Structure 1
Amino acid sequence: MNETEWLADRFEENRVHLRAVAYRMLGSPTEAEDAVQECWLRLSRSYDDEIANLRGWLTTVVGRVCLDMLRQRRARREDSLEDLVPAVATFYEDDSPEEHVLLADSVGQALLVVLETLDPAERLAFVLHDMFGVPFDEVAVIVERSPAAARKLASRARHRVRGGRSAADPAASQQGQVVQAFLAAARDGDFDALLAVLDPDAVARNNGVPVALGSVAVAKGAATFAPFLQVAWLALVDGSLGILAQQEDGGMRAMTFDISDGRIREIDVVTDPEQLRGMDLAVLGPPHRGRGGGK
């Protein structure tokens, strides 16, 4: 066996791990495979037999590749809602059960939606350290910052992923019942159920612009939401209890609520891509799936 063949075998031993890292970083199986391939090219061009920890070296390299790809993606990104929706996990036909587990574990679409809102450096610090145990000294080298700064990046990312307050917060729990009732009624197009959770003077806004005044008008508008609530999560949106929803066209929308005395007084819907990218989003549970239309 020549050196190239030996090196290729060692790389293949780490391919599953590298693909898992890249997928969590990029949210796209295709881009993850591209990053892994680039990692192989860099290894084949610059392998040094003094590398003591090949797996660690490869993890660092694929991390750098993914960081560059994320920065390029952000630089060229157009104002499209679809840019906020990560690819759903897909597997290759020749993947082993181990590969399926590694890709599926902790990379549900909800998590990827939240990861997509992070700054590239935050995302890398969180993924490498929190998901793969890479020391902050090594993360710091990749993001070209001090270990302390890398630790802060991961901490900020962790805060956004997990939410600014506990999902078990009593206030969040009480409001959650109202929000879930609204979600169910809107998803089913149930006008009477919507009226039951709305304050008579309720107001609905879309990207900051009032679009409905009064419970009847808001309920009529909300009853048409079914196509926009195909998949929805209860979430913390900038620290407030709300809904993160996937639309039929693949775009995303965030909804927040002002609730008083068990009724919704204000609904704010955000679909603007720039606003969505700047929000703190943290899902609070598994997705709620609709039937695809109202009654």
Structure 2
Amino acid sequence: MSDVFEEHRNLLFAVAYRMLGTAADAEDAVQDAWIRWSAADRADVQDPKAYLVRITTNVALDRLRSARAQRETYVGPWLPEPMLTSPDVAEGAELSESVSMAMLVVLETLSPLERAVFVLKEVFGYPYAEIARALDRTEASVRQLGTRSRKHVEARRPRFEAGAAERRAATERFFDAVVGGDVNRLMESLAPDVTMWTDGGGKVRAPKKLVHGVDLVGRFLSGIRDRPYEGVDPSEWRMRRVEINGAPALVVDGPDRPMSAITVAVGDDGRVEEIHMVANPDKLRAIAEGRTLEM
């Protein structure tokens, strides 16, 4: 029984993480799925993998409905919890995009049911008939949800004609400017209409609204290096390059913990259009633990 569950644990976590946007909630959903699996009569279960995905999806749906109410009162912009990924994840364009911070932000704008259908269909390739059984809906209604969610995501997801190598190189140039403190190179790397999300969750100092425009974003990024942050002097910061959610990222460490994680989305002109900075300590636990997202 446990062997079957463990065989599919990574898949179940991958589904739950894309549904919920945080590692902590995803792990709780997987644990709930284990409890239900342990208590279920499995005599008639012909496809354990499909059965476990169904359980996990419905647990995640219940959790997402509750979480949405909490996120409406969240202090400042809400961002997904960043997770470390291995380089081979970044090599698969579709897979890496499905866990990118930019994509997870877009998925937050879907209804819980739309998100479930999109994740199962567009990310994991499940047929509509199987999704309908998992969600206890008619296939026709699930197809409608799928069409609506796909159009919604397509209208809001970043569109990049440039290849992955070009975007990665542009991202590295931006991080070089941030790490090196080169203000001119930093400003040159930003798109005129760049937008920055800073998620402090009301627990650490961070802008409580989105920051728009090259001047304001550049000024903010240049200024944060000039004063202590949460009691840690800039001389004690350590900046390290990592892979987060399928893309290059920057983690700023203090003496005893990560203080922030930064990811970006780059446009076709090679300049940064979106910056996602997570500083809420509750959302940096997976990085602090060195946990890597599989799939």
Which TM-score band (shorter chain)? Answer: 0.5 to 0.7
Does structure 1 conserve the Cα–Cα contact (< 8 Å) formed by 2:13 and 2:27?
Answer: yes
Task: Tell me the C-alpha RMSD between the 2 structures.
Answer: 4.7
Does structure 2 conserve the Cα–Cα contact (< 8 Å) formed by 1:25 and 1:124?
Answer: yes
| Per-residue deviation, 1:77 | 2.7
| Per-residue deviation, 1:27 | 2.0
> Which residue of structure 2 aligns with residue 132 of structure 1?
124
Does structure 2 conserve the Cα–Cα contact (< 8 Å) formed by 1:60 and 1:138?
Answer: no
Cα distance 1:128–1:83, how it changes in 2: closer, same or farther (>3 A)? farther
Q: Deviations over 1:129-174 (max 9, x none)?
A: 12222222232344443322212222222233333699479xxxxx
- Residue aligned with 1:49, SS: helix
Query: Matched residues in 2 for 1:79 and 1:65: separation?
Result: 23
Does structure 1 conserve the Cα–Cα contact (< 8 Å) formed by 2:102 and 2:157?
Answer: no
> Which residue of structure 1 aligns with residue 71 of structure 2?
77
Of 2, 7, 10 in structure 2, the residue corresponding to residue 8 of structure 1 is 2
Cα distance 1:14–1:248, how it changes in 2: closer, same or farther (>3 A)? closer
Gaps of 5+ in 1: 1-6, 170-182, 199-217, 236-241, 251-295
Cα distance 1:82–1:112, how it changes in 2: closer, same or farther (>3 A)? farther
Q: Match for 1:14: what amino acid?
A: H
Of 54, 59, 69 in structure 1, the residue corresponding to residue 48 of structure 2 is 54
Q: Deviations over 1:89-135 (max 9, x none)?
A: 147xxxx9999999x74412222222222211111001111222222
> Quick one: higher RCO (CA 8 Å, sep 6+), 1 or 2?
2
| Per-residue deviation, 1:74 | 0.8
Gaps of 5+ in 2: 162-173, 193-212, 225-261, 281-295
Cα distance 1:62–1:99, how it changes in 2: closer, same or farther (>3 A)? farther
Q: Match for 2:275: what amino acid?
A: A
Does structure 2 conserve the Cα–Cα contact (< 8 Å) formed by 1:26 and 1:66?
Answer: yes
> Which residue of structure 2 aligns with residue 244 of structure 1?
274
Does structure 1 conserve the Cα–Cα contact (< 8 Å) formed by 2:33 and 2:56?
Answer: yes
Query: Matched residues in 1 for 2:91 and 2:160: separation?
Result: 29
> Which residue of structure 1 aligns with residue 106 of structure 2?
114
Residue 233 (1) aligns with residue 265 (2): yes
Query: Matched residues in 2 for 1:20 and 1:151: separation?
Result: 23
Q: Deviations over 1:161-189 (max 9, x none)?
A: 333699479xxxxxxxxxxxxx99xx875
Q: Deviations over 1:58-94 (max 9, x none)?
A: 1111000011110010123343256621111147xxx
1:1-295 alignment, distance < 5 Å: 7-80=1-74, 84-90=78-84, 105=96, 106-163=98-155, 167=159, 221=216, 223-226=218-221, 231-234=263-266, 243-247=273-277, 249=279
